[in-house]
Amino acid sequence: MNFPVIKAVSYALAHTPDLVPYGSKPERELRKTPALCGRLAAHLRTFDQACAYPPHQVFIGRTPPEALWDRETPWWRHQDAMAERWGPYGEIMPEAEFYGLLRFSDEFDLVWLEPAFLATVRQRLRAHPLFRTEDLDRLGDGHALDRIRSKITDEGALPLRHRDRLVGCVRRGHDEDSFLTANILLENVACKATGMLAIRWLFEHHREEGIRPEIIDYVINAGEEAVGDRYQRGAGNLAKAMAERSGCVNSTGGDVKAFCCGPIHSLIIAAGLVHSGIFEHVLVVGGGALAKLGMKFRGHLKHDMPILEDVLASFAILVGPPDDRNPRIRLDAIGKHDVRYSGSAQSIARALIANPLDALGRRVTDIDRYAVELHNPEITEPAGSGNVPRHNYRTIASLGVMRGEWSRHAIAEFERWHGLPGFSPTQGHVASAVPYLGHARDAMRRGDLRTAMFIGKGSLFLGKMTHLSDGMSFILEAPNS
């Protein structure tokens, strides 16, 4: 079957503890209760702690997700002694280097860094495998601290701190436009920077397979940020901005907005563009969501644990024409949550799981692995949000029971047999099934996995325009299966 394939996947994390106060929830809470600042700062992790956190090692591909089942919990207490910064899919970038990446991604002199700090960053990026001399030249010159302080005091610039030290600022883009404030621009530049980092890792790790920036025809940004101004709120186009700084000189692109379901929508659209012959290689990318840093921090403080939402996550996925080496997306069995369906768990399961399975004449148990919203439960449970993947797997198991394909007494076992532990940072679109795509592709190329279903769901009602939910799904099959 000549369906498009997943040719390459990459993931990256940027550890940004000093940006946690700029997350939407911390920013609101700290403004109301300034006394929380000290407690928040005391619960931030060091880079070594974040790097050795077992779910992060899974995210960058050094550990398979299934290994988390047997790791002692809580994972934040039982660090991975074999952890490394670099992984098969990408890296965990320290904060200082990430500030340099912000500056590199900045086209409008928005990000200012202090000269001594910038010199340190430049030296560290010089040793980074993804950065060349011409990239370092783009960092420009630093700005004296007195000028930075003046921008913060007089013009509303946003301070950038690193280890209790002021090292720079982010300037606003317009004196009167509330959509070009320093906070929003930091959110957008951070998304661009992290997305670009994932794209560059994809090319770096797949260079020997002939995957180069020049072959990309189209880029789709699947993130949740809103790039625009007061006249075009959320117009984008962050995809093309990422492509520009990633060497994709033969590509254009656009942004797909679908809340947390954006990556699944984008991958299906990408596969359709390839299958139709409009484009040969389409890159789907999602940058980190700064607004969601520290989203559950109150729960983490309550349980006297580190604030685990201190990383910006990103991914890049290349969809290309059929071959006999990579897993394919079954375009004849796409799941979609139609307008006619309700938002109940049973209705969503029917639309996203039962319908595509019926299209292929398959049972629930014929899918080896289901990738759902893979939010890390160690982040969500202390805040009272429960174990999101487990809830989804019990819904799928219940669907199997109703179809006579799974035992009611074995519902709790479905998670282990056909599911995955949650390991993704809780940044909406990032956690939405795609963190498993790299692992699934590798397992299928090895012959260890035949089929996987990727399920994304979205909360359209958050925009106050409809009460509808949303969802899309696709089945990935091993080559020659």
Question: Helical H runs in 206-246?
Answer: 238-244
In the chain, where the domains are located: 5-477
Q: Could you give the C-alpha distances from 342 to 68, 77, 163, 228, in angstroms and in order?
A: 34, 41, 48, 33
The fold for domain 5-477 equals Peroxisomal Thiolase; Chain A, domain 1 (3.40.47)
Cα separation of 465 and 325, whole Å? 44
Q: Are 433 and 263 in contact (CB under 8 A)?
A: yes
Residue-wise pLDDT tens for the chain (481 aa)?
799 999 999 999 999 999 999 999 999 999 999 999 999 999 999 999 999 999 999 999 999 999 999 999 999 999 999 999 999 999 999 999 999 999 999 999 999 999 999 999 999 999 999 999 889 999 999 999 999 999 999 999 999 999 999 999 999 999 998 999 999 999 999 999 999 999 999 999 999 999 999 999 999 999 988 898 999 888 889 999 999 999 999 999 999 999 999 999 999 999 999 999 999 999 999 999 999 999 999 999 999 999 999 999 999 999 999 999 999 999 999 999 999 988 888 889 999 999 999 999 999 999 999 999 999 999 999 999 999 999 999 999 999 999 999 999 999 999 999 999 999 999 989 999 999 999 999 999 999 999 999 999 998 888 899 988 899 999 999 998 7
Cα separation of 335 and 418, whole Å? 18
